[in-house]
Amino acid sequence: MTKRTRKALALLSALLLPAAAAGCSTAGEHTPARLGSSAAGAPAGTAPAARGFTLVASGDVLPHTSVIQRAAADAGGDGYDFRPMFSRVKPVVSAADLALCHMETIYGEDDGPFSGYPAFVSPPTVADALKDAGYDGCSTASNHTLDDGAEGLKRTLDRFDKAGLGHAGSARTAAEAARTTLYTAGSAKVAHLAYTYDTNGNPLPDGQPWAVNPMRQDKIVADARAARKAGADVVLVSIHWGTEWQTEPDGTQLSLGKALTASQSGGRPDIDMILGTHAHVPQAYEKVNGTWIVYGMGDQVAGEMFNHSGARDLRGNYGSIARFTFAPPTAPGRRWQVVKAEFVPQMMDLSIGRVVNLPAALAEDPGEEEYESADEAVTEAVLSRGAAKDGLKRSR
């Protein structure tokens, strides 16, 4: 019996005991609490030295009914506790200067009702768990953003505000939609923009054409340039795109990614990184026009996943955490540079209801075959377009 099997049996026994966010003005700027002041240690009367930062980004948080049930069990019959679900990746997330997730679903009322596929309504305590894990904000534009109309969208962003999480890609008001989401990381002002290919056919709410950001090249570029005018040193773009269950990026991902990374103003790229979600499986990282694109990070949290043929597909519980280290520009007017590129393979282990940092888990238990298979599959997908030659490395 492996360590993991013993842990799973112990957890199962414990669970059986209980009774059961385009404009040029800036939004409220988010400064991660774990960051120190940029002026710390600087002599009086001198400008503080520019400081780099680490960025962590992860894939779709998609609470199926079974995931909600797990959170209920972890709460011991008192609500829904998603914090244990993220406990094994919390060290990676919380150590970053800026950590961003993708919240694919919307939230219901505190007491529900809640639902999984096909129209997701999740417990709002998911936001509390994301904050506890160390996330500073999330992209909120997805094909499920309007699963419960304008009300669901509002409940979600209200809860983000309450939890102290930033958000980008959806909005409650026109004014909010026109603001740029900015974070402070190191000495950089970092803008986060987010877009989705569709909303599953759900129409935008009446009189609210700005409620969810559409994936349009002209809008993305305009928003990125507006973010620069708003003071952004680094512009991150999250896009909900791609073909479900397809490891290789599709034609739209390749063409749009190439066009966006080629866009420049004054000799400087408009976009510094693209972070992709939606496909349910890990996809490649690639440096295009000198800019990193993560085509798809896969699912971070999800229940049992079934592909288009109806077969159970383990890849739906695989993902990667992207970790990039940015350094200040070497001269005025130049871009912040990625000086270290890493990925951390992860897996939603349904037997224990936890997101697992695979390299860390395998260091503890090298003989765990399921983890080995998942780690190999994620690594193969991430490196499938030659990112290793540009310095991308597997990490933990």
The more confident residue out of 120 and 36 is: 120
Residue 359 inside a domain? The answer is: yes
Residue 171 inside a domain? The answer is: yes
Question: How confident is the model at residue 333, as a pLDDT?
Answer: 83
Question: How confident is the model at residue 12, as a pLDDT?
Answer: 39
When the pLDDT of each residue in the chain is averaged and rounded to a whole number, the result is 91
Which residue, among 83, 86, 80, has the nearest Cα to 65 in the 3D structure?
80
Claim: this prediction has a pTM higher than 0.85? yes
Which range of residues forms the domain containing residue 154?
22-33+49-394
Residues 304-349: tens digit of each pLDDT: 999 999 999 999 999 999 999 999 998 888 999 999 999 999 999 9
Residue 15 inside a domain? The answer is: no
Q: Return the CATH number at 367.
A: 3.60.21.10
Residues 202-258: tens digit of each pLDDT: 999 999 999 999 999 999 999 999 999 999 999 999 999 999 999 999 999 999 999
Confidence of residue 367 (pLDDT cuts 50, 70, 90): confident
Confidence of residue 44 (pLDDT cuts 50, 70, 90): low
Distance CA 262, CA 258 (A): 6
Question: How confident is the model at residue 211, as a pLDDT?
Answer: 98
Backbone angles phi, psi at 181, to 5 degrees: -80, 120
Question: How confident is the model at residue 332, as a pLDDT?
Answer: 86
Question: How confident is the model at residue 48, as a pLDDT?
Answer: 75
Question: How confident is the model at residue 10, as a pLDDT?
Answer: 40
Confidence of residue 31 (pLDDT cuts 50, 70, 90): low
**What is the distance of C-alpha 120 from the center of its chain?**
18
The single residue listed with the structure tokens 């990614």 is 257
Residue 7 inside a domain? The answer is: no
Residue 44 inside a domain? The answer is: no
Residue 14 inside a domain? The answer is: no
- Beta-carbon contacts of residue 252 (< 8 Å; ≥ 6 apart): 197, 241, 242
Give the rounded percent of residues in the chain with a pLDDT score beyond 70: 88
Question: How confident is the model at residue 30, as a pLDDT?
Answer: 67
Cα→Cα distances 275→309, 322, 337, 342, Å: 27, 9, 16, 14
Residue 39 inside a domain? The answer is: no
Residues 3-28: tens digit of each pLDDT: 444 444 444 333 333 333 333 334 45
- Overall domain count for the chain: 1
Provide the token pair at 46.
């001198």
Residue 317 inside a domain? The answer is: yes
The single residue listed with the structure tokens 């809640």 is 114
Q: Which of 14-23, 100-109, 187-196 shows the lowest per-residue confidence on average (mean pLDDT)? A: 14-23
